[in-house]
Structures are given as C-alpha cells and as structure tokens.
Amino acid sequence: MKNLPELKYTSTHEWIRFEENNSVYVGITPHAQELLGDVVYVELPPINKRLNQHEEACVLESVKAAADVYAPLSGVVTDINTSLNDKPELINTDAYGQGWLFRLQFSDATELKKLMDQIQYEQHILVEA
C-alpha cells in the first residue's frame, strides 16, 4: 500500500483526501478495487445531492460484481469525476489519483473521529481477511 499519511479511510474501503473549506475527494482503496476486479461501469451521485455518513453514494460495476460506495461523511456532492464515464478503468489503474469518484463538502466535523488513518486501515484489512 502506498504511504499516503494525508488520507483517511473507512471500514468499507473508501479513502478521503482533505481539501480546503471542509471539502474532501472520495475514492475506493486499491484493496477494494482488487476485490472488485476490473471496473467497467460507474454510476456517480448527482451534483448537489445531500448524503448522510454511511449512505450509498454511488455504484461500481466490475467483471465480478456490483458494489456500493458509501459516503464517508455527511455532506453535499460538489463535483463528480466525469472522466470515469468513458474510462472507468482509472479506478483500477490510479485509485488515489485520476480514479477519484466524487467531491463532498462535509457538514459534521465530529464524524471525522470515525475515520481511520493508514495504519489503522491496514490493520482492518488484516482482520477482515
């Protein structure tokens, strides 16, 4: 796993990269995309959609299965990665970069306590296996 100490993680394998003004980028971890296999279709949330923490935000379809992606924090979707409409494989080839899914303006900073750092996430993966 890449050493990315600036990211936070969820138990459902989403990563969160913090930006300015309570904004985060959201994607899935390489562990999640390895479990899924090659992603072939992405159904992204609409811009301005209000999401609650742990609510289904979007759906990924792969050659193996379909999987829900959950909102890591409560907030409003402010941007989506439209590049994934034509190139869903970016999730597999660049999970932490061009494979991001959506941007969220989060509304409840207390929810940050429920997120894991990289070491905690790596331990979570081991326990889950």
pLDDT greater than 80 at residue 3: no
pLDDT band at 5 (very low <50, low <70, confident <90, very high): confident
Extract the tokens encoding 49: 């959609």
Extract the tokens encoding 86: 């034509």
3-state DSSP call for residue 4? coil
CATH number at residue 40: 2.40.50.100
- For residue 45, being part of any structural domain is answered with yes
Compute and round to an integer the Cα radius of gyration of the chain. Answer: 13
pLDDT band at 124 (very low <50, low <70, confident <90, very high): very high
- For residue 125, being part of any structural domain is answered with no
Q: What does the pLDDT read at residue 125?
A: 94
- For residue 116, being part of any structural domain is answered with no
Domain extent at residue 42: 7-107
pLDDT tens digits along 17-58:
999 889 999 999 999 988 999 999 999 999 999 999 999 999
Domains in the chain, number: 1
- For residue 23, being part of any structural domain is answered with yes
- For residue 126, being part of any structural domain is answered with no
- For residue 127, being part of any structural domain is answered with no
Q: What does the pLDDT read at residue 90?
A: 96
CB distance 47 to 53 below 8 Å: no
By the 10 Å C-beta count (0-12 exposed, 13-18 middle, 19+ buried), 71 is classed as buried
- For residue 52, being part of any structural domain is answered with yes
3-state DSSP call for residue 71? coil
User: Would you mind telling me the total number of residues written for the chain in this entry?
Assistant: 129
pTM above 0.85, yes or no: yes
Degrees to nearest 5, angle at CA 25 with 51 and 55: 25
Identify any residues that bridge with 7 across adjacent strands, giving them in sequence order: 17
**Average pLDDT of span 58-74:** 95
